[in-house]
């Protein structure tokens, strides 16, 4: 079993403008840099073996600020990126939220579907499970990264995860246990 903590990247400039970044490589805001340092303090008492993050700068910089002084390996991985919103990149968040409901299986125009994100997160987890079984890691990612982690680490149908309201937390840390048998199943989506 792999113990995995997940946190979303700290606040970006697009978050402050209420835009959905997708694959756009936007920086953290000034407030986001402060929140990243605070996130690191929340993890200070956890024994960790590695940190994995999306290769987009908002996740990579969050990881560097939160964990850089701990001497942990910080591994950037494109499979942990947000969903590619294609033509809807940097659209208002309200429109992106509606898109998540419509694009679970069908890709965003010129982009990818949530199911495609879940598949790449599954590939990431299978690889990390082989190398870190019995250890504890952190993943810093995005909204769709969390959908993938929740899908592979539980029994909740993908459409239920996507259609549920985002769970905001004062301390944005989720804990998952990754079991090898869960990673061997296919991504199944029921009619939405």
Positions marked active-site: 9, 82
Whether the Cβ atoms of residue 114 and residue 86 lie closer than 8 Å to each other: no
Q: Which two tokens stand for residue 97?
A: 């939220």
Measured CA to CA, the distance from residue 35 to residue 75 in angstroms comes to 20
**Nearest residue to 13 (alpha-carbon basis) of 21, 23, 22, 3:** 21
70 is in an annotated binding site: no
85 is in an annotated binding site: yes
6 is in an annotated binding site: no
The secondary structure of residue 34, as a DSSP letter, is H
Measured CA to CA, the distance from residue 59 to residue 12 in angstroms comes to 9
CA separation, residue 166 to residues 18, 51, 100, 151 (Å) = 15, 23, 12, 14
Beta strands 2-8 and 136-141 are parallel
Measured CA to CA, the distance from residue 17 to residue 24 in angstroms comes to 14
Residues that constitute the known binding site for substrate: 58, 82-85
Residues of the binding site: 58, 82-85
């Amino acid at each position: 079993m792999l113990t995995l903590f997940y946190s979303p990247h700290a606040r970006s400039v697009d978050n402050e403008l209420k835009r959905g970044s997708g694959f756009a490589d936007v920086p953290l805001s000034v407030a986001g840099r402060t929140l990243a340092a605070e996130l690191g303090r929340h993890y200070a008492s956890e024994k960790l073996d590695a940190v994995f993050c999306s290769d987009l700068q908002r996740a990579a910089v969050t990881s560097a600020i939160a964990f850089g002084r701990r001497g942990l390996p910080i591994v950037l991985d494109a499979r942990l990126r947000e969903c590619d919103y294609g033509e809807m990149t940097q659209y208002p968040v309200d429109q992106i939220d509606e898109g998540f409901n419509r694009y679970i299986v069908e890709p965003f125009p010129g982009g990818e579907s949530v199911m495609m994100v879940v598949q790449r997160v599954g590939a990431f987890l299978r690889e990390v499970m082989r190398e870190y079984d019995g250890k504890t890691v952190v993943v810093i990612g995005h909204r769709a990264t969390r959908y993938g982690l929740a899908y592979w680490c539980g029994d909740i149908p993908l459409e239920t995860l996507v259609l549920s309201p985002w769970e905001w937390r004062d301390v944005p840390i989720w804990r998952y246990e990754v079991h090898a048998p869960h990673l061997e199943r296919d991504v199944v989506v029921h009619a939405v």
